[in-house]
Structure 1
């Protein structure tokens, strides 16, 4: 959705015009939901007596858009990208970034969740923002969940995540 807004901005916005929201943060956090992982990934190990593990290869790359239960988030969020809606180019919305997640529970990490926060700041006397984070009021955007093939045991502390390619299409 953002690319169409950027197209309209570039085509119609006056030189001194402003775009709102003017800023967006994209964040990631770790998820520990073994039941959901079992229902969506481990399920393929035994489908009513049939071994269908090959289906995991098709299911895992597909991000799931849904509302997460806030209690399944097991890390502090990491802002991985800040977007200035007044200047960003569509080509900048596909990016690679290294990031770290500070784990807050000893459990299994079963997914990574992505969400965004938007801000109405520039030249605003009354600054406004809202978040699509799991612990905030639900929106129609929900969250984007990237399921892991195998749960990873984690303990509290900092975990680096190496070079993940993320393409966000709003």
Structure 2
């Protein structure tokens, strides 16, 4: 399985410098529309609230650190759960609004809003709980998990609670004829006018970039594979820089292969439910395993799960899709195998470089692309 294993938590590393892109990133999160979209994502927000109340016994009377607090809603949930003190930290100007929201809810004695990067704030005490909504598209885009790791190593007490605690990134081949019909085949006949000459440009415009959109379970051709796993209690920042996983699928039906989809889920488990040392020491590079999309519901040690899978209720993360320029006609039981490498961009750590290699027996191809926040660009395709 491609996993991002844990090592014993070490002292916090020196904070990375704040780059011009970081400043642009924080500015983007000052816009009210971003927070409105997240708050209106009822799956996201209600799952966090349920997880906080599920772990109320570990939050009540304790000190909490909210990394990237936004409007402060998670911090306020923790205050409602009985936290003695909550440090709500955000580098974007939305922190100024969070201060007003805290005052409006008469929680200024409990919730302390700090307007700065988590790497630069001063907190004079250790905390019992760290909570953060750090997940980006494809789980790891935006690289906010690194800030959670920094906060964990610097402030979290031994045996403290981290929410969410674990995450899994899935990959599966998909079919989506309607997307091709709407974006490409539309040009064959436009009000009786032949425009097939537009199709190459249409493919380039539609599929040169990874696409964030919602698909259904009916679009998925096989069981997904887990290409990465994260244990927030133990993972180190260096392990996020690059990882590779291999995959092998067997198509469950005859259908055109149009591309590959990523989605993720996160679990909200307490420290007593951490994985064994043997599991935590697994290599981050290796073979993936096929898993039912709903296998998360079968794990006896999982309490609360937030899923972005196609068969579950949609979220603002949707799914991230990599479309092929030309569909491949798959037969039932035909194999698809290859590898996926995901790495942080050396130019901008919040971007992801994606290299996907696949082989169907009839065709072999390589895609390299770059995943950005709100601006997805495929670098090369050949």
Give the TM bin, normalised by the shorter chain: 0.7 to 0.9
1:23 alignment partner in structure 2:
166
1:51 alignment partner in structure 2:
198
Which of the numbers 209, 212, 226 marks the counterpart of 1:65?
212
Instruction: State TM-score, norm by structure 1.
Output: 0.81
Instruction: State TM-score, norm by structure 2.
Output: 0.39
Structure holding more helix per residue: 2
Correspondence list, 1:2-151, <5 A: 2-41=145-184, 49=195, 50-51=197-198, 53=200, 56-57=203-204, 59-93=206-240, 94-122=242-270, 123=272, 127-151=303-327
2:97 alignment partner in structure 1:
none
How big is each residue's C-alpha offset from its partner over 1:1-25, in whole Å with a ceiling of 9 and x where there is no partner? Answer: 3233233323332243232211111
Measured in 1, the distance between the counterparts of 2:230 and 2:188 equals: 41
When residues 18 and 158 of structure 1 are mapped into structure 2, their CA distance, relative to the original with a 3 A threshold, is farther
Structure holding more strand per residue: 1
Please, which runs of 5 or more residues in structure 1 have no aligned partner? none
Measured in 2, the distance between the counterparts of 1:99 and 1:126 equals: 25
Measured in 2, the distance between the counterparts of 1:51 and 1:159 equals: 33
State the shift of 1:117 in Å: 1.3
User: Which deviates more, 38-47 or 148-157?
Assistant: 38-47
State the shift of 1:138 in Å: 1.4
- 2:221 counterpart SS class: coil
State the shift of 1:26 in Å: 0.7
Measured in 2, the distance between the counterparts of 1:24 and 1:103 equals: 26
How big is each residue's C-alpha offset from its partner over 1:94-118, in whole Å with a ceiling of 9 and x where there is no partner? Answer: 3221111232111001011100011
- 2:159 counterpart SS class: coil
* Bigger relative contact order (CA 8 A; separation at least 6): 1
Please, which runs of 5 or more residues in structure 2 have no aligned partner? 1-143, 274-300, 344-351, 353-370, 374-382
State whether residues 100 and 158 of structure 1, in contact with CA within 8 Å, keep that contact through their aligned partners in structure 2: no
Measured in 2, the distance between the counterparts of 1:45 and 1:56 equals: 13
State whether residues 267 and 302 of structure 2, in contact with CA within 8 Å, keep that contact through their aligned partners in structure 1: no
How big is each residue's C-alpha offset from its partner over 1:122-153, in whole Å with a ceiling of 9 and x where there is no partner? Answer: 42687111211000111121111111111111
